[in-house]
Amino acid sequence: MSTTAGRATEQSDEQRRGAFSSRRVFILAAIGSAVGLGNIWRFPYVAYENGGGAFVVPYLVALLTAGIPFLLLDYAIGHRHRGSAPLSFARLRRGTEGFGWWQVAICFVIAIYYAAVLAWALRYTFFSIDQAWGSDPEAFFFGEFLQAGEVEISTDVVAGVLVPLLIVWLVVIGVMALGVQRGIGVVSLVFIPLLVLAFVVLVVQALLLDGAGTGLDALFTPDWSALTEASVWAAAFGQIFFSLSIGFGIMITYASYVGRREDMTGSGLVVGFSNSSFELLAGIGVFAALGFMAQANGVAVDEVASGGIGLAFIAFPTIISEAPGGALIGVLFFGSLVIAGITSLISVIEVVISAVRDKFDTSRLTATLVVVIPTAVLSLVLFSTTSGIYVLDVVDHFVNQYGILVVALISMLVVAWGLRALTPLGQHLNVHGRPRVGTGWRVLTSVVAPAGLAIVLVLSLKDDFDAPYEDYPTWLLVTFGWLMVVALPLIGFLLARLKWRAGTHLDGPPPGSDPAEPVHATTSATGPDLRKGAEPAQDEGGLR
């Protein structure tokens, strides 16, 4: 195909699918996806539990040998094949399209419950102002706020969760309907700098509290003996893997929206280190605050250290109640959770919307409504009731451990060993990417990263077979855990049997997607110039 025709195809494809206007927007959007709730409430506790300061060693090894190589693999797949996860896999080899839909199904499930946690954080941002939880934050959270009763499926709606959850979904619909650049891009441009600013202020506030040094001691004092334990290394690989948003379609989708002449390798390094930089910042802020809490209550830090929901909705409210300037700390902390969460949620939803648009050739607005409304309804039905927290906990555990982890591992092995696609993907990255990727990247991606993920998976399976997760009843674990994770690949490969819209290019990268094609060509026959510095193709938003 001629260069001119290729450019015309590229332009029409960008106009149809939407695109980020620049590398900066893409990087911020990718950081927004990677930096989520896990950076703030998971990393600090994982580091503390797994060797403290010594955890830096396995963490960096995991980042450099598995996290960033895998991130670059996702980028290469999406950027080279210019499609959502199913379309990119179909272009790699038609028979592998199901892996893309499996990833889409996982994103659909994650979006359903992730929004609920955002709704809680949104409500707690306002609770922080007058410390509405009173003297017992734990009783307030489970009792007054969630109204959680027995472990059963309930249809009793909790208005205090329903309303913020509805607000979250309305915001998501608005952002997603605006499109890739005007929606996701603009939100990322505004929210990511705001998130960093808010968190820096929070960390400074936390460091000024009495006892902050004690907390940092607990986090950073190295326990070198931990480095001999396999579980510590698995925790590091797991943290890096879950934190970077890799292996379940997000980075494939986002990379497909980036101009074909961008440096994806350099961008990947920036995103990977940004994610870890924020985690480190979060660790400092969280443990400085926990140090204050421990000192104020006259106990050791290990008695107050926690992660996840316990950290955010029980420990932090306690800190906010006791610390000078607690309201500010509360608004900054929960506001940061909301911002970090919303940018991650839109990236998860975009995986589904992008797949629907690619497969069925619908407009942005139609795809947004078709995807977001059912997701929101399920989210509201399942998680605004008094049984919401139990279902959420189980779904979250299983979709992460046996959804994301398994699809990432299998699809990575299929790409590396089944399709032997690493060489062309590496060559694609190297056309404009620096530093160049070579044999080392291929070895890391085909051997080291899968081995790391496999170990994480085996240890997780062992834990779940040794004892029921959190001692939940079997019916709950089977229904919302095991059955759900088994259903996801089945649904994925069933969806892959549906026909593509007429004219969809399959089997190989689409025409006009070769980054090695000359940058300059006459523009008279192809409309607006797509060169660097020129106006980007307009994302159509909901115009069609």
Partner 1 sequence: MNTSAIVMMLLAMAVIWGGLALAVISLMRHGAVEDRTENVRRDL
Residues that bind partner 1 (CB under 8 A): 23, 52-54, 56, 60, 213, 216-217, 219-222, 261, 263, 266-267, 269-270, 272-274, 276-277, 280, 284, 432, 434-435, 519-520, 531-532
SS3 385: strand
Structural contact between residues 274 and 34, judged by C-beta atoms closer than 8 angstroms: yes
Task: State the residue for tokens 């996806």.
Answer: 33
Q: CA–CA distance from 443 to each of 127, 183, 409, 423, 450 (Å)?
A: 50, 37, 15, 11, 10
Q: How far is the CB of 279 from partner 1 (least distance, A)?
A: 8
- Of 271 and 376, the one with the shorter C-beta distance to partner 1 is 271
- Of 283 and 388, the one with the shorter C-beta distance to partner 1 is 283
- Of 178 and 216, the one with the shorter C-beta distance to partner 1 is 216
Q: How far is the CB of 262 from partner 1 (least distance, A)?
A: 9
Q: How far is the CB of 388 from partner 1 (least distance, A)?
A: 36
Helices 364-383 and 326-360, axial angle in degrees (round to 10): 130
Task: State the residue for tokens 């800190």.
Answer: 319
CA–CA distance, 260 with 97 (Å, rounded to integer)? 22
Task: State the residue for tokens 């489970």.
Answer: 142
Using CB atoms within 10 Å of the CB of residue 474, give its burial: 0 to 12 exposed, 13 to 18 middle, 19+ buried.
exposed
Q: How far is the CB of 30 from partner 1 (least distance, A)?
A: 13
* Sign of the torsion angle spanned by Cα atoms 174, 176, 181, 185: positive
How many H-runs (helices) and E-runs (strands) does the chain carry?
A: 26, 0
Cis peptide before 473 (omega within 30 of 0): no
- Of 197 and 458, the one with the shorter C-beta distance to partner 1 is 197
Q: How far is the CB of 310 from partner 1 (least distance, A)?
A: 24
SS3 157: strand
Q: How far is the CB of 381 from partner 1 (least distance, A)?
A: 41
- Of 98 and 259, the one with the shorter C-beta distance to partner 1 is 259
Q: How far is the CB of 160 from partner 1 (least distance, A)?
A: 38
Q: How far is the CB of 32 from partner 1 (least distance, A)?
A: 16
- Of 38 and 450, the one with the shorter C-beta distance to partner 1 is 38
Helices 23-34 and 186-207, axial angle in degrees (round to 10): 50
End-to-end CA separation in angstroms for the chain: 29
Q: How far is the CB of 511 from partner 1 (least distance, A)?
A: 23
Phi, psi torsion values for 11, nearest 5 degrees: -65, -45
- Of 215 and 512, the one with the shorter C-beta distance to partner 1 is 215
- Of 259 and 510, the one with the shorter C-beta distance to partner 1 is 259
Residues 124-152: b if buried by 16+ CB within 10 A, e if exposed: bbebbeebebeeebeebbbeebbbbeebe
Q: How far is the CB of 273 from partner 1 (least distance, A)?
A: 4
- Of 36 and 52, the one with the shorter C-beta distance to partner 1 is 52
- Of 274 and 401, the one with the shorter C-beta distance to partner 1 is 274
CA–CA distance, 310 with 117 (Å, rounded to integer)? 12
